[in-house]
Amino acid sequence: MELKPTMLQERIATLDILRGISLIGILLVNMYAFYLPMPHIDLVTWFNTPSDIVWQQNLDIYVQGSFYPLFAMLFGYGLAIQWQKAQSRAQNFYPLGFRRLLVLFVFGVIHAVLIWWGDILMMYAFCGVFLLLLLRLRPIWLLLIAIILNGIMHAFTFLALAFVNVPEAEGYYVDIVSIEQAITAYGTGTWVDAFIQRLADLAVQASPLMWIVSLFTILPYMLVGAAASKWHLVERAKELKWLWITLAVSGLVIGIFLKSLPILFTRTLLLDSIKIYIGGPILSIGYIGLVVLLCLWPFVPKLLRPLANMGRMSLTIYIMQSIIGTCLFYQFGFGWYGKITVATGVFIAIGIIVVQMVIAEIWLSKWKQGPLEALWRKLTYKQKVESH
């Protein structure tokens, strides 16, 4: 029997809505990298006007570091669903799964080299290989491995930082030479200048250390998502309502508190690490719990259909955001690089999301998948996209 992709009637609306929401959070964070010389600056100390500082602090608490774990968990949940479907049909999912991840990795390379240096697809495909190798394990073991991997990183990080007291944040992660080069290339340079700078920034984003770190930051969240998928936590949300209430309330309260620590107290590297690596993922679980609970009301999935449509074409939407962002801010486009406030960046992101919701609605009224999803499916399953 031949393996086939997930059909429309088999999709879980809550998961698509969560993917759509995660794309909003990812864009809000990525906006910085579209119009500022990331990753060579410290965002917290970069801004000097009161309004920019307030907007940056709110994004830092509610968005930064909380949506890539969410998307990683959804990635793990989805891959585990495909694996379980293959198992129920006594099929070998591994050749197909590895091919699917290879295609995703190639998409990521093209995205990173030709469009935007901040690509995450390559890291997801890389971590996905390890996830695929572990999918045979029972969900409790997937969860335990996730905790151990993440715990190892926390242990090394906090043991090192516990003895480092940096009361003021001036100078964190700042590279003056690289900042000037990025501003020149993206702000005033040609497409070729931006291309050369993109390769330099990509060397930082995809350094050997980052690949290793991803196994302790991204892979654990994928494993958590896969464990949740095997337990059918989203599908059984009504039955497990009190679990989801607990996750939502505790995740939101604890996550927001931990992410506020560097603002409530004197900022240190230790508090920053707690904010990013503990508070961020905990808050993402809170967001997931809240959305799952809201979707228990039948009218909510219908109300949030535009988000679900974005989630159904998440790969296309993600790449499209990079194309729009670089065209708006780089000199070969509208040339807004370094010329906007944080608030303006947020409003531009909202505008992009609204446009993408309309595009997704129109596209999915004719076809069952986004264009890049269709290409991904064709290269994986050797099938063509179907129209309605």
Q: How many residues does the chain have?
A: 388
Other Cβ atoms less than 10 A from the Cβ of 260: the count is: 17
Buried b (16+ CB within 10 A) or exposed e, 25-59: bbbbbbbbbbbbbbbbbebbbbbeeeebeebbbeb
**pLDDT score at 177:** 85
**pLDDT score at 91:** 85
Q: Rounded to two decimals, what is the model's pTM?
A: 0.91
Listed in sequence order, the residues at least 6 apart from 253 whose beta carbon sits closer than 8 Å to its beta carbon are 286
Q: Which residue in this structure is represented by tokens 């700078």?
A: 197
**pLDDT score at 318:** 97
Q: Alpha-carbon distance 345 to 58, whole Å?
A: 13
What are the phi and psi torsion angles at 326 (to 5°)? Answer: -70, -35
Q: Alpha-carbon distance 277 to 267, whole Å?
A: 15
Which segments of the chain have a pLDDT < 70?
1-11, 162-174, 383-388
**pLDDT score at 220:** 97
**pLDDT score at 165:** 54
HEC assignment per residue over the chain: CCCCCCCHHHCCHHHHHHHHHHHHHHHHHHHHHHHCCCCCCCHHHHCCCHHHHHHHHHHHHHCCCCCHHHHHHHHHHHHHHHHHHHHHCCCCCHHHHHHHHHHHHHHHHHHHHHCCCCCCHHHHHHHHHHHHHHCCCCHHHHHHHHHHHHHHHHHHHHHHHCCCCCCCCCCCCCCHHHHHHHHHHHHHCCHHHHHHHHHHHHHHHCCHHHHHHHHHHHHHHHHHHHHHHHCCCCCCCCCCHHHHHHHHHHHHHHHHHHHHHHHHCCCCHHHHHHHHHHHHHHHHHHHHHHHHHHCCCCHHHHHCHHHHHHHHCHHHHHHHHHHHHHHHHCCCCCCCCCCCCHHHHHHHHHHHHHHHHHHHHHHHCCECCCHHHHHHHHHHHCCCCCEC
First to last CA, the chain: 25
CB 284 within 8 A of CB 70: yes
**pLDDT score at 195:** 94
**pLDDT score at 164:** 57
CB 105 within 8 A of CB 128: no
Other Cβ atoms less than 10 A from the Cβ of 257: the count is: 14
